[in-house]
Amino acid sequence: MQEILGELIHAPWIYVLIGLSVLLDVFLPVLPSGVIVIAAATAATGSTAAAGATGLPTPPAGAPLPEICALVLCATTASVLGDLVLYRLAWRGSARFDRAVARSRRLTAAQRRLGHVLTSGGGPLVVLARFAPAGRSVISLAAGAAHRRAVDFLPWSALAGLVWAGYGVGVGYFGGQWLGAGWLATAVPVLALFGTGTLAAYLVRRRPAQAQAS
């Protein structure tokens, strides 16, 4: 698989596939966009070995750098676009969403906390939530439904997308550098991503509780 991805990473359409997976996982959080980004970064790192194994011309030293930069740019752009689309959809359908929120005290409290976070400089929570399972979707929906200004939301969304993409590509790249082109080079970074997501989910739940206690 690593050999195949190592060949495909040089094809432009692979970035379309990566971009679509990242964009759509804001609507379908079950999509493994993070795994795809990591696998592509690992494949770019191991593309030299893959080329040699398949008899293809070996890329020159440092060749993975353009692919690595393209992966970060592609994943970041797709992440921000997905957030923006869901934000706008929630903005337009806010009346229906508000009625659903009003029936739940927990959702109402969460919506108020989000508004306070976005307007009081607490936007790092948006970045943290990007790593939590479905956190990106919840943040984008709540920001749009609460009619939070784009200037309060989008800069943090862009930073969250950049940090998330940089982390995924980074662990994939170093996994390929340290562990070679085998399956372990992808498995270890994926486990690191899941571990980070678990920690982020815990911190996202904890921060509102700390804010209420204070």
- pLDDT, position 66: 81
pLDDT, mean over the chain: 76
- pLDDT, position 182: 65
C-alpha 29/C-alpha 89 separation (Å) is 17
C-alpha 60/C-alpha 119 separation (Å) is 48
Most confident option among 89-98, 102-111, 144-153 = 144-153
- pLDDT, position 102: 66
pTM of the complete model beyond 0.85: no
Domain edges within the chain: 2-213
Q: Convert the pLDDT of each residue in 7-51 to its tens digit.
A: 555 567 788 889 999 999 988 877 789 988 988 888 777 654 443
Q: Convert the pLDDT of each residue in 55-76 to its tens digit.
A: 333 444 444 778 889 999 999 9
Q: Convert the pLDDT of each residue in 170-194 to its tens digit.
A: 998 888 788 766 667 678 888 888 8
- pLDDT, position 204: 72
Most confident option among 50-59, 154-163, 166-175, 202-211 = 154-163
- pLDDT, position 73: 95
- pLDDT, position 36: 87
Q: What secondary structure does DSSP assign to 48-92, as a single string?
A: HHHHHHHTPPPPPTTTHHHHHHHHHHHHHHHHHHHHHHHHHHHHH
For residue 165, what pLDDT band results from cuts at 50, 70 and 90?
very high
C-alpha 143/C-alpha 192 separation (Å) is 29
Mean pLDDT score, 96-112: 63
3-state secondary structure 20-45: HHHHHCCCCCCCCHHHHHHHHHHHHH
Residue with tokens 């690593």: 2
For residue 212, what pLDDT band results from cuts at 50, 70 and 90?
very low
